[in-house]
C-alpha cells in the first residue's frame, strides 16, 4: 500500500524524535530529575517539552504497522495464528531481530579506540558481550544486544496476540486484552512507586505490554475508511493526550518524585493515536519531496542502524556539547543511517534488514 505524503512527514518527525531522544535527550539526567517550568529558562523549558513531545514516535510506528495489518484483513487475507502469512511475517521480524542483535555485538561505542587494536580485540569484546547476554535470557529475548531492538520483539508479540484472537473470532476480547496489558505496563513502570503500582523484575515497556494496544488500534483503523475528519479529530486527540501526559508526569513527580524519563503513561496512548489519525486522514497536507519520501521509506532501516552511529560518534558529541552541535549531531546520524540503509537495500541479502 502506498501511503499519502502526510504519513511520510510523520514518519520523518518520528524518526527525528527517536534519533534525537537516543542521541542527546536520554543522556541528560538533570532534564528528568524534576519537572521543569518556564521560569527556569526558555531553552531548558523547550527541551523538556520536546523530550515529552517525541513520546508519540514509537506508538505511531506501532499503529502504522497495525494499520497495514488491518488493511490486509479488510481485503480478506486470513491473519489467524495458523496463517502462512502470519508465520512468514513473524519469521521475517525474528530474522531481522537476530541479525541486528549479532551486528550490535560489535563495539561501536569503542570504534575510534579500536583502530589500533586490530580485529582480535573486536572479536574479544563481541564475545564478552555475547556471554553477558547469555547470563540474562530475559534481556536477550526482549532486547537483544541493543536496547532499541525491543521494538521488534514487541511487534512480534502484537502480531501473535492479534492472530490468536482473530483465530477465536473475538475482536472485543482482543481490545480488552490489549488494554489490560497496557494498564499492567503503566502500573508496573511509571506508576510503580504509587499506591496503585507494583515492582517487576523486567521492563514492562518490553514484550506485549506497551506495543500491543497501539498495534491493535492501528489494526482496527485499518478496517475503516479514511476520513477527512480524522485530521481534526487527531489533532484534538494528540493535544488532549499531550496535556494528559504532562499532567500525569507532574503529579507523579510532585507526589512520588518519580524520574521523568518514562517511556509512557496513560496520556501517551492518545498522543500516538492522535498523530496516527492526522497522518492517515484523507486529503491531509502533503510535501512533495523525494528526500522526505526516502526518509519515510527507510524509517525501519534508520531506526535499526542509528544506534551504531550514536555510539560511534558519542566521543565527538561529548567534546562539542552545545545546542548547535546537538542539532548537527542528530542530523549527521540520520543522514549516515539513511545512506547506510540505502546501501544495504541494494543487496538482496541485506534488503530485509532495512525495509
- pLDDT for 318 equals 72
State residue 116's pLDDT score: 63
82/168 Cα distance (integer angstroms)? 11
Q: Which cell goes with 324?
A: 548547535
Going residue by residue through the chain, which has 355 residues, state the pLDDT in tens, using 9 for 90 and above: 445 568 888 999 999 999 999 988 887 778 888 898 888 888 889 999 999 999 999 999 999 999 999 999 888 888 988 899 999 999 999 999 999 999 999 888 887 766 666 677 778 888 899 999 999 999 999 999 999 999 999 999 999 999 999 988 888 999 999 999 999 999 999 999 999 999 998 899 999 999 999 999 999 999 998 888 999 999 999 999 999 999 999 999 999 999 999 999 999 999 999 999 999 987 666 666 677 777 788 999 999 999 999 999 888 777 766 778 888 899 999 999 999 999 999 998 889 899 8
What is the predicted pLDDT for the residue at 56? 97
* Selection from 214, 179, 219, 225 nearest residue 79 by Cα: 219
For the chain, where are the alpha helices, taking DSSP H only? Answer: 5-23, 42-53, 57-74, 84-103, 119-134, 137-142, 150-168, 171-187, 211-221, 229-256, 266-280, 290-297, 299-319, 323-345
pLDDT digits (tens, 9 = 90+) for 279-321: 998 766 666 667 777 778 899 999 999 999 999 988 877 776 6
> What cell numbers appear for 108 in the block?
561501536
Q: Which residues contact 353 (CB under 8 A, 6 or more apart)?
A: 96, 99, 100, 301, 304, 344
d(CA 121, CA 125): 6
Long-range pairs for 35-39 at CB < 8 Å and ≥24 separation?
35/249, 35/250, 35/253, 35/254, 35/260
Task: Identify the pLDDT of residue 296.
Answer: 81
Q: Give the N- to C-terminal CA distance of the chain in Å, as an integer.
A: 14
Measuring CA to CA, which residue among 271, 272, 270, 252 is closest to residue 261? 252
CB 133 within 8 A of CB 140: yes
Collapsing DSSP states into helix, strand and coil, what is residue 355? coil
The angle formed by the CA atoms of residues 331, 332 and 336, to the nearest 5 degrees, is 120
What pLDDT is attached to residue 210?
Answer: 96
pLDDT attached to residue 64: 96
What is the predicted pLDDT for the residue at 270? 98
- Is 143 in a helix, a strand, or coil? coil
The pLDDT, as a whole number, for residue 285 is 62
Which pLDDT belongs to residue 77?
87
Q: What is the pTM (predicted TM-score) of this model?
A: 0.93
Give the three-class secondary structure for 3: coil
Cα 287 to Cα 96: distance, rounded to the nearest angstrom = 31
Question: Domain-by-domain residue ranges, the chain?
Answer: 5-353
Closest by CA position to 105, among listed 140, 136, 58: 140
| Burial of residue 346 (number of CB atoms within 10 Å: 0-12, 13-18, 19+) | exposed
Alpha carbons 242 and 222: distance in angstroms, whole number: 24
Q: Are 162 and 219 in contact (CB under 8 A)?
A: yes
Residue 70 contacts residue 221 (beta carbons within 8 Å): yes
Amino acid at each position: 500500500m502506498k501511503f499519502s505524503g502526510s504519513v511520510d512527514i510523520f514518519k520523518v518527525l518520528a524518526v527525528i524524535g527517536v534519533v534525537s531522544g537516543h542521541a542527546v535527550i536520554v543522556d541528560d539526567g538533570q532534564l528528568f530529575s524534576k519537572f521543569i517550568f518556564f521560569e527556569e529558562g526558555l531553552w531548558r523549558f523547550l527541551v523538556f517539552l520536546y523530550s515529552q513531545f517525541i513520546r508519540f514516535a514509537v506508538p505511531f510506528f506501532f499503529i502504522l504497522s497495525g494499520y497495514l495489518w488491518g488493511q490486509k484483513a479488510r481485503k480478506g487475507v486470513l491473519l489467524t495464528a495458523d496463517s502462512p502469512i502470519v508465520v512468514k511475517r513473524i519469521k521475517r521480524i525474528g530474522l531481522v531481530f537476530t541479525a541486528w542483535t549479532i551486528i550490535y555485538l560489535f563495539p561501536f561505542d569503542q570504534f575510534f579506540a579500536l583502530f589500533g587494536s586490530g580485529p582480535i580485540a573486536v572479536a574479544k569484546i563481541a564475545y564478552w558481550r555475547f556471554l553477558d547476554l547469555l547470563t540474562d535470557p530475559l534481556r536477550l529475548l526482549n532486547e537483544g544486544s541493543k536496547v532499541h531492538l525491543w521494538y521488534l520483539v514487541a511487534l512480534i508479540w502484537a502480531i501473535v496476540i492479534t492472530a490468536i484472537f482473530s483465530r477465536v473470532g473475538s475482536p472485543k476480547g482482543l481490545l480488552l486484552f490489549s488494554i489490560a496489558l497496557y494498564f499492567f505496563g503503566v502500573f508496573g513502570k511509571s506508576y510503580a512507586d504509587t499506591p496503585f503500582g507494583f515492582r517487576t523484575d523486567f521492563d514492562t515497556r518490553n514484550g506485549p505490554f506497551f506495543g500491543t494496544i497501539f498495534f491493535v488500534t492501528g489494526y482496527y483503523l485499518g478496517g475503516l475508511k479514511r476520513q477527512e475528519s480524522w485530521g481534526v479529530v487527531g489533532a484534538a486527540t494528540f493535544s488532549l493526550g499531550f496535556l494528559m501526559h504532562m499532567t500525569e508526569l507532574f503529579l507523579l513527580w510532585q507526589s512520588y518524585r518519580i524520574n521523568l524519563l518514562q517511556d509512557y503513561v496513560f496520556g501517551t496512548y492518545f498522543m500516538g493515536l492522535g498523530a496516527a489519525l492526522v497522518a492517515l486522514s484523507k486529503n491531509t497536507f502533503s510535501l512533495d519531496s523525494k528526500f522526505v519520501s526516502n526518509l519515510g521509506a527507510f524509517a525501519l532501516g534508520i531506526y535499526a542502524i542509528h544506534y551504531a552511529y550514536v555510539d560511534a560518534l558519542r566521543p565527538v558529541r561529548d567534546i562539542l556539547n552545545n545546542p548547535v552541535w546537538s542539532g548537527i549531531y542528530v542530523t549527521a546520524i540520520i543522514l549516515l543511517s539513511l545512506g547506510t540503509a540505502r546501501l544495504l537495500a541494494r543487496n538482496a541479502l541485506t534488503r530485509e534488514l532495512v525495509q
